[in-house]
Amino acid sequence: MGKSVITIPASISRFTANPLTSTAKRKVAAYARVSTDHEEQQSSYDAQVDYYTSYIKSRSDWEFVSVYADEGITGCNTKKRDGFNTMVEDALAGKIDLIITKSVSRFARNTVDSLTTIRKLKEHGTECYFEKENIWTFDGKGELLLTIMSSLAQEESRSISENCTWGQRKRFADGKVTVPFKRFLGYDRGPDGNLVVNPEQATLVKRIYGMFLTGMSPALIARTLTEEKIPSPGGKEKWNASCIRSILSNEKYKGDALLQKVYTTDFLSKKKKKNEGEVPQYYVRDNHEAIIPETTFEQVQLLLAGRTTGQNRMSSVNIFSSRLMCGCCGGWYGSKVWHSNDKYRKVIWQCNHKFNGEKCTTPTLTEDEIKAIFLRAANQAIDAKEEITAMYHRVVEPKLATDEFQKELDELATELNVTAGMIENCIRENAHVAMDQTEYQKRYDALAARYDAAKARQSELSQEISVRHARRQQIELFLTNLKAREALTVFRDEDWLSMVDHITINSVTDIVVTFKDGTEIKA
């Protein structure tokens, strides 16, 4: 007897998991996104939201859930797209059966993110419909089309990113400077887009530099400004040391601008990296009005460089910190408290290494003794201020000249540009023409060595010029203040901070005060 086959028709919809005869409405949501918050994009964003709200509600077989949206957010990844992520979470929780969006590029410009999300939604019974491309993800050919369209969207994003990068680097090459003005202290955007000094904020910038030059640390400056309830550049109540260090090291405050400090490594992740030579940088001199004189700025850079970590690191916890040097080991004195819990409590200063390996024999000093030593030495310097000034102009000032160094530095800049061009031509020629690789490597190594030598000399000269400028500024400021001073009768913090570089304690009878101009007086 022959076999027979009976067909049992499907009774459950594979799209909704409901019976075919069910009248249950499909829960539908929409997703809208624009990548910038410009006004012209705002109209597109509002239009998308209004359109999908009306469209979904007009269908009798659909139940409107919500319109999820992200405004001013890139589609290259899903990490910061709160609306998108909330929509996916709701879909996985069974709150959404169908997601409608304008196009594949609105959903995601990253092929991997797009396919991963679609498959995850599909596993949980949520379909996506891309209106422009007419793609339904539950359709048999849906994933193939989606892969193709997602790849095209990603490639379009890459092209846009490269065009934007080229445009930005062209602006840098043309010397066009811009900063985040809303969080940049001291400058406003001028009519031509350049930096214009904000007088009120500039006063605070000058104060920060002045506080640092008197010996206050970035942390102490931050704490002081916070206590005075002065808002930070970002509008926050609390300042932090990193913000102060950024202000103290930003070349824009001396009227110059270094462009391309960071660059974007990947257009999908938008990850930024500090530029350490991977892409060209551009240094624009005298781009705008300076708030801080160049010599003052260079002096601050030297002081910042001296604040390294380690056994003898610079400190400004107290006005005497990093100012009292042990003549035995060369380390700094630190404060100690004797009799901390009784009436004989006293603060003394001694070498930090006194009982830590070196066994230094230098004496301890009380703060009253330090103040008396300073007053004796300072009054001797004030009495001899004419001789000290004359000695500076006759002996020291000529040694701090930088004209010859600057001339050599200009020649080195030309040499570096020429050599870099020769290296690029050498590489390009080897890539397009069959060359003897031994000869090519020899030629390349010679050019690279020439470039490295010029670069090393440039760094050496730049550092020396900065040191000399800062030193001259420090001495001239000291001499100006010294000339205006009369004999000191009482100790004041500002006198100590502005006059003393450090004190070297060799023994009880051999204590030398070194002033900021290098003058040494035995007190």
Instruction: Give the residue, 369 or 12, on which the prediction is more confident.
Output: 369
Nearest 5°: phi and psi at 367? -65, -35
Could you read off the pLDDT of 150-186 as tens digits, one per residue?
666 666 666 666 666 666 666 666 667 777 778 888 8
Lowest mean pLDDT among 33-47, 187-201, 372-386: 33-47
Q: CA dist 354 to 314, 319, 348, 505, Å?
A: 18, 21, 13, 13
pLDDT at 40: 46
User: ∠ CA(63), CA(64), CA(69), 5° rounding?
Assistant: 150
178 vs 194: CA distance, rounded Å = 7
Closest CA to 517 of 351, 395, 372, 383: 395
Mean pLDDT of the 109-114 span? 66
Closest CA to 374 of 365, 386, 387: 365
* Section 409-437 average pLDDT: 88
pTM value is: 0.51
Cα–Cα distances in angstroms (integers) from residue 393 to residues 277, 389, 398, 498, 521, in the given order: 41, 7, 7, 20, 19
In this predicted structure, the answer to whether residue 85 has a pLDDT above a threshold of 80 is: yes
The confidence score (pLDDT) of residue 208 equals: 92
Residue 505, pLDDT > 90, answer yes
Asked whether 110 and 77 are in contact (CB, 8 A), the reply is yes
- Measured CA to CA, the distance from residue 108 to residue 113 in angstroms comes to 7
Distance separating alpha carbons of residues 418 and 441, to the nearest angstrom: 19
pLDDT the model gives residue 454? 92
164, 187, 185: which is closest to 177 by C-alpha?
187
pLDDT above 50: residue 311: no
Q: Which of 11, 26, 8, 21 is nearest to 138 (CA)?
A: 26
- What are the E-state strand segments in 113-211? 127-130, 135-136, 187-189, 195-197
> Bigger pLDDT: 302 or 171?
302
Residue 150 is encoded by which pair of tokens?
Answer: 């997602």
Distance CA 505, CA 330 (A): 10
* The two structure tokens encoding residue 101: 């969006």
Let me know: does 254 contact 290? Beta carbons within 8 Å.
Answer: yes
User: What does the alpha-carbon distance between residue 87 and residue 16 come to, in Å, rounded to a whole number?
Assistant: 18
Can you tell me the mean pLDDT for 189-214?
86
User: Is residue 57 predicted with pLDDT exceeding 50?
Assistant: yes
CA angle 514, 325, 473 (to 5 degrees): 40
> Are the C-beta atoms of 85 and 96 separated by less than 8 Å?
no
pLDDT bucket at 75, cuts 50 / 70 / 90: very low
Digit-coded pLDDT (tens) for 263-288: 666 555 566 777 666 667 777 788 88
Tell me what pLDDT residue 137 has.
Answer: 81
CA–CA distance, 129 with 124 (Å, rounded to integer): 16
pLDDT at 165: 63
341-380 pLDDT tens trace: 777 778 889 888 776 666 788 889 998 999 999 999 999 9
Lowest mean pLDDT among 56-60, 316-320, 344-348: 316-320
Average pLDDT over residues 379-404: 90
Within 10 angstroms of residue 442's Cβ, the number of other Cβ atoms is 11
Does residue 385 carry a pLDDT above 70?
yes
| pLDDT above 90 (res 319) | no
**Residues in CB range of 300: below 8 A, 6 or more apart:** 209, 212, 213, 248, 249, 292, 470
pLDDT band for position 407 (cuts 50, 70, 90)? very high
Examine the pLDDT at 262 and tell me if it is beyond 80.
Answer: no
Residue 124's φ and ψ, nearest 5 degrees, are: -100, 15
Residue 78 near residue 70 (C-beta atoms within 8 A): no
Pairing of strands 282-284, 324-326: unpaired
Q: How many CB atoms neighbour CB 157 within 10 A?
A: 20
Per residue in 327-339, pLDDT tens? 888 888 888 887 6
